[in-house]
Amino acid sequence: MSRYKNVMDKRQEILLKSAGVDYSKYEEGIVSFNYEKMMKDIGYGLNEVREIQKKAGVGNTPLIELKNITELARKISKTGKAARILVKDESCNPSGSFKDRRAALSVYDAKIKGYKGVASATSGNYGAAVASQAAMQGVKCIIVQECFDSKEIGQPEILEKGRKCECYGAEVIKLTVGPELFFTFLELLEETGYYNASLYSMYGIAGIETLGYEIAEQCREYYGKDPRAVVVTHAGGGNVTGTARGLIKAGSFETDVIGASVDLTGLHMASDKDFNKKSFTTGHTGFGVPFIINPDRSDVPRSAARPLRYLDRYVTVSQGEVFYMTELLAQLEGLERGPAGNTSLAAAFVLSQEYEDEDIIVVQETEYTGAGKHLMPQLTFAKNNNIKIQIGNPEEEIPGESIILPSHPSKCRIKEINMLDLKASYLKNIVLKLRGRKLMSEDLKYLCDETKLVEDEIIRILIEYGY
């Protein structure tokens, strides 16, 4: 039997052993599972999670008002009005991003369950976060990264992240783009017996709830009210899910949760040719859309990241607009921060103009910047990959061909993604999963929770797709 087949055949068994959770007990109906029961089973309440994070130096980050950017938004707004823009400075966490909130809880859980080490498959900030928490909490750590195209050329941001993981003492396994990532990760879990510190486990999501909770708490303390909207950079869906759940736990029911991603339409994430044509390695539509319409495409049997349950709106911005906002944040506010957080800032700058002056819109994160994350190495890398760098109208940007920095702040736009279309695509995937079987009553209730649609609407869409 080939090594590949041998490992893939044992996939469920390996995932179960490395997660320390029996996911089968949550299964119900044909396609449904008991999401809230799964989330409850982490066994810690929000206050305990906060304590665990506090001991690991995580959370309690500042909420900063961006007065100059708000003023600029009001200057260019058609009505002359714009909400106050605030940013939650998550770069103050130990490894420089909100991912420390996820990692702190996962590494803690690994330790409690007696695992010798933790492993994670990620090319992003999460690797650095797990490596940092593993160093702090005294467990071993291996990170598997998809780093290079087939010519062994690496995206500057991913290479930098590899160095960051190594500096925290983790072993980093660097791969070329392709399907071997999952196989390599499974084989590693089996060989080492390490804990799978998945981004998508219930611990990975519960860790972010504190972020949403802190936003509500700080807005009430400083401004005496809840934010009208929180803008969240979206990729795999954990950020949206955890933040929204935290807001709900704080009783912030009227706050809109708006996802924002960089528009990378047309670039294929698993393509060797496209791998180095993107200037953003997370918070983009190449992850954002697939994870909304099929949240269980992850490295755990049931993902705790369920963005469709929580998103009120989903908007996109262009690469050029995010680079431009990165400069604005540095030059107008004195905050030099990284690309992913500035994705939601670029969207918030435009969205703020839909609200009144007394309203509050929160950009839910910043991330650190430096080395490969900075816009200079990114733009140089893009130029070397034959991407045209221009100044003009960002609406004309074509991902993989051009990056257009806005010639004026009024040229910044958002593109609205139709939520009903996303819900329909999600339901189309459900029809495929059903393979001719009939839905049970639990399934219908579950689909209502997953999509925030009523039963009749769900049935109508399912029938449209052949149910």
Among 59, 156, 207, 238, binds ligand PLP (CB under 6 A): 238
Closest contact distance (angstroms) between CB of 411 and ligand PLP is 24
Among 100, 187, 263, 367, binds ligand PLP (CB under 6 A): 367
146, 165, 330, 339 from 159: Cα distances, Å: 10, 10, 24, 15
Among 117, 162, 237, 295, binds ligand PLP (CB under 6 A): 237
Among 70, 95, 210, 233, binds ligand PLP (CB under 6 A): 233
Cα distance between residue 232 and residue 221, in whole Å? 21
The reply to whether 234 sits near ligand PLP by the rule CB under 6 A is yes
- Binding residue count for ligand PLP, defined by CB under 6 A: 17
Which H or E element spans position 258?
A: strand 256-262
The reply to whether 286 sits near ligand PLP by the rule CB under 6 A is no
The reply to whether 236 sits near ligand PLP by the rule CB under 6 A is yes
The reply to whether 299 sits near ligand PLP by the rule CB under 6 A is no
* Cβ distance to ligand PLP smaller for residue 156 or 237: 237
* Cβ distance to ligand PLP smaller for residue 236 or 301: 236
* Cβ distance to ligand PLP smaller for residue 93 or 318: 93
DSSP assignment string, 404-439: EEESSGGG---EEEPHHHHHHHHHHHHHHHHTTPPP
Give long-range contacts, CB 8 A cutoff, 24+ apart: 39-43: 39/202, 39/205, 39/206, 39/245, 39/304, 41/202, 42/105, 42/109, 42/202, 42/203, 42/206
The reply to whether 283 sits near ligand PLP by the rule CB under 6 A is yes
Q: Which residues pair with 389 in a beta bridge?
A: 403
Q: How many other C-beta atoms lie within 10 A of the C-beta of residue 44?
A: 15
CB 170 within 8 A of CB 137: no
The reply to whether 365 sits near ligand PLP by the rule CB under 6 A is yes
List binders of ligand PLP among 115-134 (CB under 6 A): 124-125
Closest contact distance (angstroms) between CB of 97 and ligand PLP is 4
Tokens 């189309």: give the residue: 428
- The token pair at 112 is 């409690």
Interface ranges with ligand PLP (CB under 6 A): 97, 99, 124-125, 233-239, 282-283, 340-341, 365, 367
